[in-house]
Structure 1
Amino acid sequence: MLYRRLLIEWLVVVIAASLLVTASVRGRWTAPVDNILLDSMTLIRPANADDRIMLVEIDEGSLARIGNWPWPRSVHASALEMAAKARPAAIGYDVLFIEPTAEDGRLAEGLRAAAPVYLPMLPGLPDADGRAATTADQKPPPPISAAAAGLGSVDVNFDDDGVVRRFEPRLNGAVPHLTELLVRRIDPQAYQAHPPAITQIIPFQRPGAFRRVSFDDLQAGRVPDALIRGKVLLFGGIASGFGDRFLVPFSAGTLMSGVELQANMLNALLHGDFYHDVGTPWVLAFSLLPVLLLLLAFLHFGPMTNLRLSLAGLVVVSAASVALLLTIGWWIPPGSALLGLVVVYSLWGWRRLAAVSEFLTAEVVQLQKEPDLVPAAVPASGRGDLVNVETNRLHDVIAQLRALRAFIAEILARLPDAVCVVDDDGAVVMGNIAADRLFGRAVRDQPLLPLLAGIGLGGAAREGEVTLPDGRTLVLSRAAIDGIGTIIRFADITELKAASRAREEALQFLSHDMRAPFSAVIALLQDRTSGDSGAVTADTALRIRQHAGRGLKLADDFVQLARLENARVVAEPVDLAGALAEATDLVWQRARQRNVAIRERIDDDDLWVMGDPALVQRALLNLLGNAVKFAPEGGTVECRIVREGALAACSITGQGPPMPPERARDPFIPFAPGTDAAGEASRGLGLAFVRMAAERQNGSVGYREMPDGMKEFTIRLPLVTDD
């Protein structure tokens, strides 16, 4: 919705900017700025003043010595005759001789003597429709006109600000300009190469660039002939009493006399150095192009980039206009383009801010209606203008969302199962603490496949139950998230699998091993009761007693093992040698029955361990009882207590039958099959109790096989420390 609104606003700005720039170009709204830039160019690239041009100035000194203006025409004739002696290339006499006088003949003689001499005239002004003249051409009297080499216009073209910047060869009708006549005479090739057909910009010289002499000095013969030989002499007044002074660009001195202005025009004609105004279509294209490019950038870049592009556009447009003028002489006014860039940036910034503000206001209001999962923050101040108020509301909502995000992230991080969020490229974009622990490193921004391969899954993430090389069992499950990726959960069910196996083994034990002796007792009793006498013989009673005792022993071992799993262990100092002696006393009767000798080797009688006295004694009794139980008739069981650093170790060594493979790998696992010396079945519940008792008391167990069928079982418990 916001994008559609912004696109509509953008189209409106495009239309408004295009109309604005077009109106500015056609109405020359930025002419003052353009003129300042144009006038500055002469300071950067002034044209070369032609050495052939020399000004003969009617200055204040000439007026003081010759007399007040107007002078008799004989004075002008004598000056022309003096100049003719030096043989100049041509003379342009910028003095109007309109009214007839008695000295017209004398002036005509001077004109013929100094020929070629070109005189000015005033062309008739066109009517408002440009088709008829309101006044006739004002020419010198016939004697003077006939003696002159040609008559030309000296009118100038004023810009809107009253400054003379441009040269128009046919300003008022078909009368050629005076400087155009001079160029035809002295340099026809230059005229043919650069015919002044259209209005062109004058490259003004700096004040004083042209050579000049005083009219009085020339008339009095004080000017050397060599100085003016072959030159183009331009006669004209510069004294303050003359009215032909024109505003020119500040780089040319601001105020310039008519004769010097004619010199600048003549210099540009001789060298073809005019700057050229391009047509309105080109100016319009030059002005619209950067504005439209900036508008296109607004659709793709952010505010800061757009600001930089806008500033760069101002610099590039100005530099391009200057570069075109200084390199190929084309003048494209940059003002309309600069105006368009400034206005379009401001307009777009306003409309975009308005659209975004309205959108955010609506979204904030809608979001504030949603139920919160975490407590809301303290509302910000509602003072200030509308933007400030809406900004504060947005700040509140962002704080709320940030708190919600932290809340959700904390929940994910603290989940007991490893969870990873994977993007479409297979990279982990989010993971919790359990995932870092599972893979052994931080998983965020890591590719998933190498992580899986690192824990032995071979780079695959198939759903279901998988077993790792270290024995752990995981359940992988996936949940796709549209536009984000996939959530993968790694649930560790190792303990559940172990508990399930233990439950199955316990059920098997209960259903088979514990039922077997009681089934045998029942069978024996049934046999005797079905006989003739019904009496129980001594042999039957002995066998019943053996089966019942075996069942009772299995039941007792099972109950003790199950009870130990959840029992609270209270550790206290225990005399390990004393506990071993008590266990020996308890198995002595059975050892005597089987003629098994028990030998003790105690390296240190004063070894006290931290543990539960009943558990320590029961564990030693199980080890010693198993050794006597599995020992052959007449065998020997050796008991040894030694110190091993911070531990005390009690080892029980004796000879016994070979163990099945399941028991040989770990004799302390419960419910593993085995047989004693008499061939009776054994499930290892006693040894399982020993290991659990040792681990619950911060100890450990060990087993090793020795030559000649000897087997050693060891329990290690921590010694009592001084502190």
Structure 2
Amino acid sequence: MRRAERADFWGSLERRIHAEWLLVTASMLLFTACLSLLGGPAGLTRVDHTFYDRILATTASSAPQPDIVIIAIDDGSIAELGYWPWRRAVHARLLGQLGQARVVGFDILLSDKNPAYPTDDATLARAIRANGRTVLPFMIAHGNQRIVPPLPRLADAAAAMGYINVYADGDGVVRSLKLRQPLGDDGEAQHFLLAMLQVAHIPARLGAARTDDSALLIPYGRQPSRYTVYPYARVLEGDVPASAFKDKLVLVGSWGSGLGDAFPTPVTSAHGGMAGVEIMANGLQAAVAGSWIRTTAPWLAAALACLPVLLVCLLFRRRSPRRSFIVVLATLLLVGMAAILLLWLARTWIPVTASLIGVVLSFPVWSWRSQEASLQHIDRELRTLRHDRAALGENASPKRSAVKDASLPARITQLHGAIEQLRLAHERREETLRFLSHDMRSPQNSILALIELQQHANTALEQTIFLHRVQSYAHRTLGLVDGFVNLARARAKQLHYEAVDLVDLMAQCMDEFWAQARQRRIALRYDAHPEQAWTWGDASLLHRSVMNLLDNAIKYSPDDTEVTCRIEAHGGMWQASVRDQGRGFSAEQAATLFEAFSRVDEQADGNPSGVGLGLAFVKTVIERHGGRIEVSGAVGEGAQFTLCLPAEPGGIPRE
């Protein structure tokens, strides 16, 4: 691929990745916003409630609240005073002990007559009127269409009234109160707590709530109760002095385990619930101090939920998958810590589930789209490479398993193969340039220099010497060309596989070198163990490889020595070796034996002629046949070259 084409390729990839990033970012922001605004039916509200409950239970205040006192109708009082409900004359006696209270709120419905004690209602009404600061509750029933008030005589005597309904969320947990409740066409009713504050002349503080008909989150205190609690019986008997209630906001309500007035709350849902009168105490404290837990408008909550998603998407653009994963984990931790700190320090709750889901999903979505874009570009480049190699006559078809495998590992494997091919092509290009610029030019320059000398009488050589040297340089040039062409063919030639008997092949090669070896009194010895050694390969290339090894062994061996050939089986491979008794080589020289144009002791006296391509040819052929070449030797101890080729199963040629 030319430089301009590569620049266009990577430029288009960068543009594609940028477009994918913009699309993923916009999609995840829209998804998170919709999830925040519309996720209630999908169950996100329940998950948010779980987070809220855990955080509130952890960060709830345990500071005592001395201005609010609870008179508890507990199990001990019931045991002492008798079964519930008690006579209303008993409540009248209790009010006699609370004359110094700033306000008394009876969290007890008094809507039914007691025919067994017909005068008790009048007694209680007189006590309520005498106290002058008693607030009675009523119940809203039938879908907010009507109220269930206390008896008229009691209602007329009360300083104020308000409803005591508490409305649990979908999971049954009471987290909030509404200080005003619409009543159909009859206007609205105020909450019991507002009535108490009105009698106590304390303005109700709504905190950051927009209106007092909003659902206000109660800042529950940590269990056990942070309020002063007196048993009903103890107060009734005068065991608690009247001064203990001076200027206090007093709530009277059930606390007993068998009265059924307990509700799950964020801080007690795991412990069986909180008494209704304590819920009222927590709400009363919030209304006095304005410490309701603030919430945000839906649109603002959606915008805040999108901020972490935008943050991770911005960081994804230039981060690796590993670092992007770390970014996701860090952002999730940051969102969780921010929710805890806001609820703890700022008494503000922002739902986090939509944000957490958006952050978590952003990572796989971005990974999918970025990898898909990259892999599509890789596929395009692989197709271009295969087309270019096919045009050069090279086999560029992937393996059968890779053709049908579109997974990431398969594509990476193909890319690795393409990169390896590019690396080899670059090496061959450099090798060709070196061959043309140095190895081929050197003998030609020598011939030109001889001709230049021959043209001058004072430097001219004898005709015989001149022709001999020109012939030598010409043969060297032809040897270089033949060696280079053979090496190139060994690398690029389409192999024609057939069954080859290495024993027969070795014998043929030894026969061809018999005369040359005999001329120098070099013995060619064949140490034959198997009668046949079948392998699967290109017979012509394997034949030339063995010939190269024998040629080198004879050339580098002194006269009157021995060259030994051997074939043996080892580990499912045939090992065909050629060993000589020549000069050998050092470990440093062994490392460069198979490099093209590399020769051992090239400048040494008596070094045989050659171009340094024979062993490179052998190594290329053997590796293309799925084998390997091994070498051993030392200086002055000869050398052994071993061809390791896969054995044909059973030694039987394939059909």
The TM-score range, normalised by the shorter chain, is 0.5 to 0.7
Give the 3 Å change call, closer, same or farther, for CA 403–181 of structure 1 in structure 2.
same
1:147 aligns with 2:149: no
Q: Is the 8 A contact 2:263 2:274 kept in 1?
A: yes
* Structure 2 counterpart of 1:513: none
Pair 1:114 & 2:135 matched: no
Q: What is the alpha-carbon distance in structure 2 between the residues aligned to residue 365 and residue 314 of structure 1? A: 42
State whether structure 2 residue 187 is matched by structure 1 residue 176: no
Query: Per-residue deviation at 1:78?
Result: 0.7
Deviations 1:473-508 (A, max 9, x none): xxxxxxxxxxxxxxxxxx999x979x88x988986x
The CA deviation string for residues 382-440 of structure 1, in whole angstroms up to 9 with x for no partner, is 2899444x633652452353144145236527855999xxxxxxxxxxxxxx9xxxxxx
1:408 aligns with 2:426: yes
- Name the counterpart of 2:244: 227
- Give, in angstroms, the shift of residue 114 of structure 1: 3.2
| Cα distance in structure 2, aligned partners of 1:178 and 1:140 | 13
Alignment-mate amino acid for residue 157 of structure 2: A
**Aligned 8 A contact 2:135 2:158 in 1:** yes
**Contact 1:368–1:397 under 8 Å retained in 2:** no
Q: Which amino acid aligns with 1:147?
A: A
Instruction: Please say if 1:242 is aligned against 2:259.
Output: yes
Per-residue deviation at 1:255? 0.7
- Alignment partners' CA distance in 2, 1:385 and 1:289: 42
Tell me what 2:480 maps to: none
The answer on whether the counterparts of 1:374 and 1:403 sit within 8 Å (CA) in structure 2 is: no
> Is 1:395 aligned to 2:406, yes or no?
no
Tell me, yes or no, if structure 1 residue 217 matches structure 2 residue 234: yes
Once the two structures are TM-superposed, the CA of residue 67 in structure 1 deviates from its matched residue by 2.1
- TM-fit CA distance, 1:564: 10
Give the match's secondary structure for 2:281.
Answer: helix
Equivalent residue number for residue 277 of structure 1: 295
Deviations 1:246-284 (A, max 9, x none): 121145645111111111111222222211110001111
- Deviation track 1:137-187 (CA, whole Å, cap 9, x = no partner) reads 332233322322211121223222121111211134532222223334447
Deviations 1:638-675 (A, max 9, x none): xxxxxxxxxxxxxxxxxxxxxxxxxxxxxxxxxxxxxx
Distance between the aligned counterparts of 1:367 and 1:505, measured in 2? 50
Contact 2:180 2:189 in 1 (8 A): yes
Pick aligned residue for 2:223 from 207, 210, 232: 207
Q: Which residue of 2 aligns with 1:79?
A: 94
Q: Which residue of 2 aligns with 1:315?
A: 333
Corresponding residue to 2:60 among 6, 22, 46 = 46
Q: Secondary structure at the match of 1:51?
A: strand
8 A Cα contact 2:182 2:189, kept in partner: yes
Label 1:370 to 1:416 Cα distance change in 2 as closer, same or farther (>3 A): closer
Aligned-residue Cα RMSD (Å) equals: 4.2
SS at match of 2:180: coil
The alpha-carbon distance between structure 1 residues 385 and 99, as it changes in their structure 2 partners (threshold 3 A), is farther
SS at the partner of 1:242?
Answer: coil
Match of 1:517 in 2: none
Report SS of the residue matched to 1:408: helix
Deviation at 1:21, TM superposition (A): 2.4
CA 1:368 to 1:385, structure 2 compared with 1: closer, same or farther past 3 Å? closer
| Residue pairs, 1:14-163, within 5 angstroms | 14=25, 16-27=27-38, 28=40, 29=42, 30-47=44-61, 48-84=63-99, 87-100=100-113, 102=118, 103-123=120-140, 134-135=145-146, 137-163=147-173
One-letter identity of the residue aligned with 1:401: I
Residue identity matched to 2:107: D
| SS in structure 2 at match of 1:158 | coil
One-letter amino acid of the structure 1 residue matched with residue 68 of structure 2: I
Counterpart of 1:382 in structure 2 is 401
- Structure 1 distance, partners of 2:29, 2:297, is 18
1:100, 1:141 within 8 Å by CA — same for their partners in 2?
A: yes
Secondary structure of the 1:52 match is strand
| TM-score using structure 1 length | 0.53
- Paired with 1:220 and 1:318, the residues of 2 have a C-alpha distance of 51
Q: Deviation string for 1:438-485 (max 9, x for gaps)?
A: xxxxxxxxxxxxxxxxxxxxxxxxxxxxxxxxxxxxxxxxxxxxxxxx
Instruction: Tell me how far 1:202 sits from its aligned partner.
Output: 0.9
Q: In 2, distance between residues paired with 1:162 and 1:221?
A: 39
**1: CA distance between counterparts of 2:452 and 2:402?**
72
Instruction: Provide closer, same or farther for how the CA distance between residues 193 and 286 of structure 1 changes in structure 2, counting only shifts above 3 A.
Output: closer
Asked whether the equivalents of residues 97 and 242 of structure 2 are also in contact (C-alpha less than 8 Å), the reply is: no
Task: Tell me the TM-score normalised to structure 2 length.
Answer: 0.58
Q: Read off the aligned partner of 1:23 and give its amino acid letter.
A: C
> Aligned partner of 1:52: which letter?
D
Give 1 or 2 for the bigger CA radius of gyration: 1
**8 Å contact kept, 1:93–1:117:** yes
Contact 1:202 1:265 (8 Å CA) reproduced:
yes
Deviation at 1:64? 2.1
Code of the residue aligned with 2:265 in structure 1: it is V
Conservation of the 8 A alpha-carbon contact between 2:160 and 2:199: no
1:73 counterpart letter in structure 2? R
1:299-314 correspondence runs (5 A): 299-314=317-332
Give runs of aligned pairs for residues 450-465 of structure 1, distance below 5 A.
none
CA distance in 1, matches of 2:425, 2:206: 86
Match of 1:516 in 2: none
**Aligned counterpart, 1:431:** none
> CA 1:182–1:134 in 2, change beyond 3 Å: closer, same or farther?
closer
The separation in 1 between residues aligned to 2:396 and 2:387, in whole angstroms, is: 15
Looking at structure 2, the residues matched to 397 and 284 of structure 1 have their Cα atoms a distance apart, in angstroms, of: 43
Mapped to 2, the partners of 1:385 and 1:185 lie a distance apart of 82
CA deviations over 1:318-374 (Å, ceiling 9, x no partner) = 223333322322211010111122233333333444454455445434533432779
Greater RCO, CA 8 A, separation 6+: 2
Corresponding residue for residue 608 of structure 2 = none
Write out aligned runs for 1:332-351 (5 A). 332-351=350-369
SS in 2 for 1:92: strand
Task: Describe the shift of the 1:505–1:414 C-alpha distance in structure 2 as closer, same or farther (beyond 3 A).
Answer: closer
Contact 2:203/2:288 (<8 A) preserved = no
**2:385 aligned to 354, 357, 367, which one?**
367
Match for residue 331 of structure 1 among 345, 349, 359: 349
CA distance in structure 2 between the aligned counterparts of 1:251 and 1:71, rounded to whole angstroms: 28
Please give the secondary structure, in 1, of the residue aligned with 2:260. coil
Go from structure 1 to structure 2 and tell me whether the alpha carbon gap of 1:371 and 1:413 turns closer, same or farther (over 3 Å shift).
closer
Offset at residue 43 of structure 1 (A): 3.3
Distance 1:192 1:93 in 2: 23
Q: Which stretches in structure 1 are left out of the alignment for 5+ residues?
A: 127-132, 420-433, 435-490, 511-554, 569-696, 698-723
CA distance in 1 between partners of 2:191 and 2:402 (Å): 72
* Counterpart Cα distance in 1 of 2:160 and 2:422: 94
Change (3 A) 1:403 1:287: same
Aligned pairs, how many?
444
Is the contact made by 1:380 and 1:395 (CA closer than 8 Å) also made in structure 2? Answer: no
Give the Cα separation in 2 of the matches to 1:307 and 1:10.
16
- C-alpha separation in 2, matches of 1:492 and 1:313: 66
Q: 1:188 to 1:385 in 2, by over 3 A?
A: farther
Q: Look up the match of 1:461.
A: none
State how far apart, in whole Å, the 2-side matches of 1:41 and 1:324 are: 10
Specify every segment of 5 or more residues in structure 2 that has no aligned partner in the other structure, as ranges: 1-11, 471-604, 606-655
Q: 1:288 aligns with which of 306, 313, 316?
A: 306
